[in-house]
Amino acid sequence: MVTDPSTAFIHLDDVTKSYRLGESTIQAADHLTLSIDEGSATAIVGRSGSGKSTLLHLIGGIDRPDSGTITVDGQNLGALTRNKLADYRSSIGFVFQQFHLLPALSALDNVLVPLVARRVDFDRHDAARQLLEAVGLHGREHAMPSQLSGGQQQRVAIARAMIHRPTLLIADEPTGNLDTTTATGVLDLLFQLQQDHGTTLVIATHDTTVAAQADDVIHIDSGHIDEQKNADARTP
């Protein structure tokens, strides 16, 4: 359920972010205040252009806010140096609408990319194979991206996002390029991995059916929160 700010894993306090678009100013985050529990799955729901991606970029340290405070796992992101912020970003698992697989690398090697410059205390190849099996791609480790369907490529991207065992997984419209059946399978997989690993999942989507699987749902429109509910509050 939605927690209080003092114990939240993620907390935004009066956060704003605007962008210039020609002669206009777009208020993508309009005094956002919200809290997200550790180990929970939170769906950010809204139409295209509502501010979902901006919110994820702020939480992920990709963008800095114009004002307000963002705290993740006790860290004030605004107080981090450029190098520390880069370290923070590299600790997160990201899944995007576009798969961003390297076309010259196999599925296995794509999963291993986040570990190239990282020391880990586990066998990276075994971990990558286990993740590919977990996402339903056993036996496809050496397939190239061009040999995989869109759904399979997104599954590789999910395995890649999980390989360094992040405490936070951010997914921005991960099923936007997939057909309905494939999208359902990918979403089921994301939520299952989140539960299995105890990862905090924040997923942005325009699909309100995703909310049924999330612990908490935040409805956002024009950069401000319309509604934030937890699963218990949605149960009739």
**Phi-psi category of residue 165: left, alpha or beta, with phi > 0 → left and psi -120 to 50 → alpha:** left
Distance CA 49, CA 57 (A): 14
In Å, how far are 37, 107, 115, 144, 161 from 101, measured between CA atoms? 30, 8, 15, 9, 11
pLDDT of residue 5: 76
Query: Cα dist. 39→7, 21, 162, 228 in Å?
Result: 13, 36, 14, 17
Q: Is 171 in contact with 202 (CB distance < 8 Å)? A: yes
CATH of domain 36-56+79-234: 3.40.50.300
φ, ψ dihedrals at 24, nearest 5°: -100, 155
Which residue ranges of the chain lie beneath pLDDT 50?
A: 234-236
Q: Strand 168-172 to strand 93-95: parallel, antiparallel, or no bridges (unpaired)? A: parallel
The answer to whether residues 15 and 32 touch, using CB atoms and an 8 Å cutoff, is: yes
For 206, residues 6+ apart whose C-beta sits below 8 A from its C-beta are 45, 46, 47, 48, 52, 173
Q: What does the pLDDT look like over 150-185, one tens digit per residue?
A: 999 999 999 999 999 999 999 999 988 888 888 888
- To 5 degrees, how large is the angle CA 113–CA 118–CA 123? 80
Residue 134 tokens read as 């977990």
State the DSSP string of 110-134.
HHHGGGTT---SS-HHHHHHHHHHH
Domain ranges of the chain: 36-56+79-234
Q: Tell me the pairing of strands 93-95 and 224-230.
A: unpaired
Residue 13's pLDDT is what? Answer: 97
* Burial environment of residue 23 by CB neighbours within 10 A (0 to 12, 13 to 18, 19 or more): exposed
- Full-model pTM: 0.91
Q: Which two tokens stand for residue 97?
A: 């609408």
Find out whether 54 and 21 touch, Cβ atoms under 8 Å. Answer: no
Place of tokens 């306090």: 13
Amino acid at 230: N
